[in-house]
Structure 1
Amino acid sequence: MNPDASRLWRAPRWALAVLLACLAMVGPFSIDTYLPAFSGIAKALDATPVEMQQTLSSYLFGFALMNLFHGALSDCFGRRPVVLIGLAVFTGASLGCALAGSIGQLVFWRTVQGMSAGAGIVVSRAIIRDMFPPADAQRVMSQVTLFFGVAPAIAPMVGGFLFVHADWHSIFWFLTAVGAALFVSNWRLLPETLHADMRQPFQVGALMRDYWRLCSSPKFMMLVLASGIPFNGMFLYVLATPVFLGEHLHFEATQFFWFFLSTIGGIMAGAAVSGRLAGKMAPKRQIMRGFRIMVAVSLVNVALNLFVPLNAWWALPLIGLFSFGWAMMVPVVTLLVLDQVPERRGMASSLQASIGSAANGLVAGLLVPLVMHSTVALALASAAMMAVGLLAWYGVRRSVAA
């Protein structure tokens, strides 16, 4: 923790949480906003469904690749420069997407978008731990998750409205404006939170050795898998929304917001509960409660998809409840990940985000195309993602302080 933290930010704690949440939401916002226009973009650019899926998977792989470096660079040069450069590149990439005239150009600029968008979420986690001791950090992490939930809930409504009343290009013009606004606000408000004594020299060889040390640590890797893989139990439904909502539930583009309201509502509620439990419940117990909720929801979801005709009245609330369980436990696990390397929290955040994003990319590029045309397959895949995270947690829970 930065010993000068109390002097760096004198505004209310929630105001810093809002600023960091805006940084963290850039990545998900870039996905959710254009999903309602998937079919329209495919038609306009004469793209196949597989090519359109590549606009998602290329974004996620770009996100995963650069996440290896965002946090490490912020350990060396400071949090503020990395955030500002990331936002500047994101704004330029969004402009490139808006001007894209072919599916190849769109895939390229989406990759650049992904490579830059990760700076916000990676560095914001490190900033929280720079500024707050553990219990307060959990509360702020929960507040960030809470505020962060608002933007993805609004994003598909904005995207659907822009697509219906303008065209798909307007969605990326909107993201360009969002990037520019975030750049200006962070330029004016975000302090440098990395203390000068905590800066690390940037040496690629040493950085790779540190990454190898973390990757070879079973405890670190199990915690990363426990926090990141269950997210895909919900996220695969997000990635499959054009088919899940459009073909299975027969939603119009302007109705997609019901799905996102359910999902993000669950995340916001889970984050709020996590914040209230900070310092009142042992981390192990809180994490297990979140997993128990996800296990119960997964079993019910599989059973209903097998034996009951699909209906939005039960399908959407179940995904929301799954999101609630994940959001209840993930702030705690994330802080455990960061505290494995207290002297290099930026690097730890980078590796955590990179592994999670690589998993997201594999889900988007390989798993979702295989399962999205069957609601039973979607439910089974979601349960499998949760099970991987649960097994990882069981593998490491004995070594975690009560």
Structure 2
Amino acid sequence: MPTKKYFFLILILGTLTALGPFSIDMYLPGFEAIALDLHTTSIKIGFSLSSYFIGISAGQLLYGPLLDRFGRKKPLYIGLTLYILASIGCITARTLDALVILRFFQAIGSCAAAVASVAMVRDLFPVKDSAKVFSLLMLVVGASPMIAPTVGGYVTTAFGWQTVFVILAVMGILILLASIFFLPESYQPDVHMSLKPGPIIMNFLAVIREPQFYTYALTGALAFSGLFAYVSGSPVMFMDIFHLSKNAYGWIFAGLSVGFIGSSQLNSLVLRRYSSDQIIIVGLICQAITGIIFLIGTYLNWYGLPATIVMLFIFLCCLGFVNPNASALSIAPFKKNAGSAAALMGALQMSIGALASVGVSLFNTNSALPMVSIMAGSAILGVLTLVAGRKQTGHPVLMQEKGDNVVMH
């Protein structure tokens, strides 16, 4: 594949992958302003974040079979159109309930982009390059926490929180146009695939029964849920506990994202010497140790703002190594059912992330302890899941394409 075309594909797939995170990160600095306007509290505004996570979990299961049945682009168009309409609806929201519901439908739309981008990585690139491609996608996705909260903070201060959703709607329109005119159809529709509930469930079960899938998808989801806990708890922690301004919070959030982005790019270099299976176990153990130290220090009130930022930075660095390799290893065994596999992986990731987010929101307290506890617990569970699952998958896991299947040695 020519370098220019390769770069352009990565860019478009990256923007598809980044749409969901951007929709989350951009409105975080506006929590206080939204709460004031809707006559509620910042903590309760967190339920609009949780509803987004729930929507993106449920929606991915919807789009998986559609992507395999109708090809990648038509379901993508439908999802992006729903996203644009829901974003416009959020601009007009006047109650917390309305915002929570509209954010749910916004998520349903955005997850079409998330599932399609993962499935198209499997369609367009060799299996051996999957982890590297996911690392490159993280570079585009990583721009979200660097740009979105900072822009969101300034936009909310200058023009009001509704303007954030105007920007998201425009983004959705631009991504839809790019997908229509520049993204190739990477998968021929499977006209023989049934969309009846029975065959769809059997198709999902066939994916779930693959040991490599359930081991690495669940491991990756547990590790990644620590990020959801951080995203959900960070507005309260930085703005209510440490009393930072919206703009200062946006800059810190952006700075912390450098750890996640940088380590995901360093992962591409490390893959030249070590396998994804080797990298993921080291990354997970380091993430769990960091979470435990962070939890102990938070409980004992050891950390001020600088130490808290350092601990979060290290935690996110570990996640940058875990996430691309977990994604690559999860979908590697599939070609025919790549859409369904991508949907299940994403749904698992987002549903566990939603639980982490709701868990943080349920604790109505001005303390970082709920957030840090969930971050540490998710990392520990990730390590335990990987250790148990490797007994079924074996290691090392080496993959090569052979016809329509992937042969594991």
Q: TM-score, normalised by structure 1?
A: 0.92
Q: What is the match of residue 156 of structure 2?
A: 163
Letter of the 2:239 partner, please give it: G
Q: What is the match of residue 380 of structure 2?
A: 387
Cα offset, 1:45, TM superposition: 1.2
Which of the residues 33, 37, 44 maps onto 1:44? Answer: 37
Cα offset, 1:47, TM superposition: 2.5
Distance change >3 Å, CA 234–CA 263, structure 1 → 2: farther
Secondary structure of 2:336's counterpart equals helix
Q: What is the match of residue 264 of structure 1?
A: 257
* 2:21–2:141 CA contact under 8 A, matched in 1: no
* Structure 1 segment 267-278 matched on structure 2, within 5 A: 267-278=260-271
Task: Single out whichever of 113-122 and 273-282 deviates more from structure 2.
Answer: 273-282
Q: Percent identity?
A: 25
Q: Distance in 2 between matches of 1:42 and 1:337?
A: 39
Distance change >3 Å, CA 117–CA 345, structure 1 → 2: same
Which of the residues 234, 238, 243 maps onto 1:241? Answer: 234
Which of the residues 158, 165, 171 maps onto 1:172? Answer: 165
Cα offset, 1:175, TM superposition: 0.8
Distance change >3 Å, CA 209–CA 70, structure 1 → 2: same
Cα offset, 1:371, TM superposition: 7.5
* 2:131–2:327 CA contact under 8 A, matched in 1: no
Cα offset, 1:74, TM superposition: 0.8
Letter of the 2:351 partner, please give it: A
Q: What is the match of residue 334 of structure 1?
A: 327
**1:36-58 CA deviation, whole Å, 9 max, x = no partner?**
11111111111245542221111
Cα offset, 1:308, TM superposition: 4.7
Letter of the 2:197 partner, please give it: V
Task: Single out whichever of 362-371 and 250-259 deviates more from structure 2.
Answer: 362-371
Cα offset, 1:379, TM superposition: 2.2
Cα offset, 1:196, TM superposition: 5.5
Q: What is the match of residue 129 of structure 2?
A: 136
* Structure 1 segment 95-134 matched on structure 2, within 5 A: 95-134=88-127
1:14 aligns with 2:3: no
Distance change >3 Å, CA 25–CA 70, structure 1 → 2: same
Q: Distance in 2 between matches of 1:16 and 1:93?
A: 27
Secondary structure of 2:261's counterpart equals helix
Letter of the 1:31 partner, please give it: I
Q: What is the match of residue 81 of structure 1?
A: 74
1:184 aligns with 2:167: no
Letter of the 1:154 partner, please give it: I
Cα offset, 1:127, TM superposition: 0.5
Secondary structure of 1:11's counterpart equals helix
1:148 aligns with 2:141: yes
Q: Distance in 2 between matches of 1:199 and 1:127?
A: 20
**1:216-272 CA deviation, whole Å, 9 max, x = no partner?**
555533322200111122321210122111122211111112332233211111211
* 2:142–2:260 CA contact under 8 A, matched in 1: yes
Distance change >3 Å, CA 214–CA 367, structure 1 → 2: farther
Secondary structure of 1:250's counterpart equals coil
* 1:75–1:198 CA contact under 8 A, matched in 2: no
Cα offset, 1:12, TM superposition: 3.5
1:230 aligns with 2:223: yes
Task: Single out whichever of 256-265 and 383-392 deviates more from structure 2.
Answer: 256-265
Q: What is the match of residue 3 of structure 1?
A: none
**1:112-165 CA deviation, whole Å, 9 max, x = no partner?**
101111111111111011111122222111100112101221101111111101
Q: Provide structure 1 residue ranges, at least 5 long, that are not aligned to the other structure.
A: 1-5
Q: What is the match of residue 60 of structure 2?
A: 67
Q: What is the match of residue 29 of structure 1?
A: 22
Q: Distance in 2 between matches of 1:235 and 1:316?
A: 16
**1:75-97 CA deviation, whole Å, 9 max, x = no partner?**
11111112222111111110000
Q: Distance in 1 between matches of 2:65 and 2:3?
A: 27
Cα offset, 1:318, TM superposition: 1.7
Q: TM-score, normalised by structure 2?
A: 0.90
Cα offset, 1:198, TM superposition: 9.5
* 2:115–2:342 CA contact under 8 A, matched in 1: yes
Task: Single out whichever of 245-254 and 215-224 deviates more from structure 2.
Answer: 215-224
Distance change >3 Å, CA 41–CA 300, structure 1 → 2: same
Q: Distance in 2 between matches of 1:54 and 1:34?
A: 13
* 2:257–2:316 CA contact under 8 A, matched in 1: yes
Q: Provide structure 2 residue ranges, at least 5 long, that are not aligned to the other structure.
A: 397-409
Q: What is the match of residue 194 of structure 1?
A: 187
Letter of the 1:36 partner, please give it: P
Q: Distance in 2 between matches of 1:12 and 1:324?
A: 30
Q: What is the match of residue 290 of structure 1?
A: 283
Which of the residues 367, 373, 378 maps onto 2:366? Answer: 373
Secondary structure of 2:337's counterpart equals helix
Task: Single out whichever of 336-345 and 192-201 deviates more from structure 2.
Answer: 192-201
Distance change >3 Å, CA 234–CA 252, structure 1 → 2: same
